[in-house]
Structure 1
């Protein structure tokens, strides 16, 4: 056995909650080791609807604390992660004036009720409460109600049974996986004694020592406290540690990215957030030149088995007709499909009624080491959840909080130009210093925020990829060197938006694998295997 490393905190799981907690603890000077089984934000954190939202529908179940926290954290992210989180005008279609009042009352008091018609009165009341809860750090306009005529001016071609809509604003995150990675990199910069590792195998616990394998080497660590941030995999991680507990109950949410120009144009930059005839809440909005459609809500026991199957894809294509009956969405338009498992608490009730709020279960190893399990939570509230857990850890360690993260900008959001003039000045300066044209510097800023400046300085003499000319060889090699890339999927699914935007083809996979294989030391067989994983 290798020499045992002593750390204050061991975090198991590199999803958004693990990454956020890692950064907060590092900011307080706490020695941390984060271990992730695959890649940072590769599990449920990569399978979300990519909205930083206040949780409008949680008003119906009386979860006011969650709505307030979510709205405040959404507003913070618009400032702290301005490179990836931007306002998204959204409409909530209305089909009647009085619909949904009785079901809303029943659901508010915890009774089961199908709600497929949110009328004008309920919509106005809900959006008014939403504005009140989001008034702190307000970054977007308050809601307003639209008549059918006003709706037609905003979004053309909606079903004639829709008499109007509520217009409000949410936040949209363009690159969720990169934000998680940047939290990790920021944490290590804040406290260099801490480290986050991806592609790790957890082997088990022997007393107070945890064993794991990384890069072919077995290692051992003795933490004072363990944080289980494995999301839907929390129970499995606990079992590996020798703890028998049933804490989790997962819900699968599938999404599609479709290439449908008519639908893209009709949305006119808006999200449509609508209740469907089966009582589900669905959404569609423009994403990377295509349209994102989501999502299902299906109980699932094995998170590794989650995928968007043919039935779910057909449902998501068909449900669009409820709001856009004259714009068919067909299977051949699907460019990308994905599914994530919401890390919900174990509950016997209907999965759609299970709380999305977060909580911390406190267990112990057989040897007495505390184990904190981070259950539930939304992407939007990761910072608040991390703050709550960090405060618990600091109390256990007897350490003071040195700073808070409420206004701490993330990664490429640091110094991000917020006005047109500031953006133009940044692009001019970086383009001049790096010897790039302005369009190239602008593209890098859009992809990586202000982190692009360090990258740009290395791109002189770059060659565009044959199969994907919007990216270059030196750009991708910079990501490999600086951003913990170990697999082809790390690069094409998470460090870039190549896969999610629908641009991943066999030719792209082959060309990129040939480019990054040599610096990563891949054999020919490994290179072929990496390409096969993306087929």
Structure 2
């Protein structure tokens, strides 16, 4: 803990994957941590990804071997520590006439297979696609290709689980809380924090500020902290579309495009296909973004270049977009901007440090957090050693990281659950799923079904334990039930949250 009463060791700005990962790592080392997030956890970039834990095959074209090696090693670690939300996914990469030649693809996959010393997933292989189940959805020219392995993740839950573990190790996690201003005073940072819902402010002091505000990293630096930086952020918008399922099978496709970009088609939420992503330079201020008509047309065209089944914009059932806060390496093409990260520290003449995170990717968040603590170790002599490489995330402590075996045991323990609901709960909460259900021995004992198998008991659990305050938090970030539930569910969830919140407030007042 901090040696000075009332002073945190770290004030972390930002409740995305990097901020929560840093908070978790620091709290587990015995440090006093306060994290503030102006919205909900994972409410910006971290819930707008392609949902992949991967080395980044295409990064090899830009010679980012260190990043790919690190990401492949992290892929293995995350698969082991979070087997409920991270799972293997096999990718089919068709060869396409006039694009990257077969020898280049084969060389890239060879490097991909061998850059990591750790590898539990199957390696790459050449494929004949014509006349096979893998080739059946594809146009005739895509008759050959390759297969390789990576992983899929529920990105927003990865963020929440890091925050949950951080809190259980002593961190103070404040959502809907914005950093208004901070200044160096008496050897520490004195910060003013504002509750974005009530407007109430509070003061906090910390020895070090870690600026992990994602798209807002430069705005926080120059605004609330009043600092400059040698590094700069480059905002790139990435958009995705979701359609009804376009093909059978549990595999994903990765398609080359004439502009040398690649686009994924990934099985999503059972009944859907996720397609993305775009890379569009964003010149405006950071904030909420939406897919443009041009991006929708681009992704629809990509699908229609590859699949026999044609789609149009009218087939898009959902879309989302996010801003990637990439480190500005002056690349001319948004697709070529590095996905690596840079840590910039401001501590003139031994003043209280402010460390800012530029760039990064979902897969490498854990290693990034270790690097942050390494960079600050001279200012944090009481910090314990690195520990997150093998420690399961909440719900991931299943024997042998064997999710199928866990699911079988869980379903047998709660036989009244429909098969799809049991799978969803096991995937979302892992070994903690039983906490959601409590002592229930029937569906009726879980309270009202608010839609799509979402029970009142689960909503109450999310509100009490996972910072969920709105229907959007629950239907689109703690889950993706928003794709499945009937009309009116959002209103029912909002009403239940209001009633249960009022009841809790009344109970607290009475107590």
Normalised to the residue count of structure 2, the TM-score between the two structures is 0.89
How far apart are the structure 2 equivalents of 1:345 and 1:402?
28
List runs of 5+ in structure 2 lacking aligned partners.
504-511
Cα 1:284/1:455, change in 2 over 3 Å: same
The residue number in structure 2 matching 1:359 is 342
| Residue-by-residue CA offset, 1:306-331 (whole Å, 9 max, x unaligned) | 2112221122112101111x211222
Cα 1:197/1:419, change in 2 over 3 Å: closer
SS in 2 for 1:311: helix
How far apart are the structure 1 equivalents of 2:134 and 2:418?
35
* Residue 278 (str. 1) matches residue 259 (str. 2): yes
Q: Cα distance, 1:516 vs. partner?
A: 1.1
Matches within 5 A, 1:140-219: 140-149=121-130, 152-173=132-153, 175-190=154-169, 192=170, 194-207=171-184, 208-214=189-195, 215-219=198-202
The answer to whether the 8 Å contact 2:9/2:33 transfers is yes
Matches within 5 A, 1:68-467: 68-96=69-97, 117-134=99-116, 136-149=117-130, 152-173=132-153, 175-190=154-169, 192=170, 194-207=171-184, 208-214=189-195, 215-238=198-221, 239-245=223-229, 247-259=232-244, 261=245, 263-265=246-248, 268-288=249-269, 289-301=271-283, 302-324=285-307, 326-350=308-332, 351-364=334-347, 368-415=351-398, 418=402, 420-428=404-412, 430-431=413-414, 440-457=421-438, 459=440, 461-465=445-449
The more displaced of 436-445 and 404-413 is 436-445
Q: Cα distance, 1:365 vs. partner?
A: 8.4
* Paired residue total: 484
How far apart are the structure 2 equivalents of 1:520 and 1:330?
43
The answer to whether the 8 Å contact 1:459/1:474 transfers is no
The answer to whether the 8 Å contact 2:452/2:485 transfers is no
List runs of 5+ in structure 1 lacking aligned partners.
100-116, 523-535
* Residue 517 (str. 1) matches residue 498 (str. 2): yes
SS in 1 for 2:384: coil
| Residue-by-residue CA offset, 1:414-463 (whole Å, 9 max, x unaligned) | 226616444323332x327xx76777544421332111111111545124
Q: Cα distance, 1:63 vs. partner?
A: 0.6
The residue number in structure 2 matching 1:60 is 61
Cα 1:43/1:222, change in 2 over 3 Å: same
| Residue-by-residue CA offset, 1:186-234 (whole Å, 9 max, x unaligned) | 11212x2x21111012111244311011354311111111100011110
How far apart are the structure 2 equivalents of 1:404 and 1:26?
11
SS in 1 for 2:146: strand
The answer to whether the 8 Å contact 1:391/1:401 transfers is no
The answer to whether the 8 Å contact 2:54/2:72 transfers is yes
SS in 1 for 2:446: coil
Q: Cα distance, 1:58 vs. partner?
A: 0.9
Matches within 5 A, 1:33-44: 33-44=34-45
How far apart are the structure 1 equivalents of 2:350 and 2:112?
46
Segments ≥4 residues shifted beyond 6 Å: none
How far apart are the structure 1 equivalents of 2:420 and 2:58?
40
* 2:472 paired residue among 466, 489, 500: 489
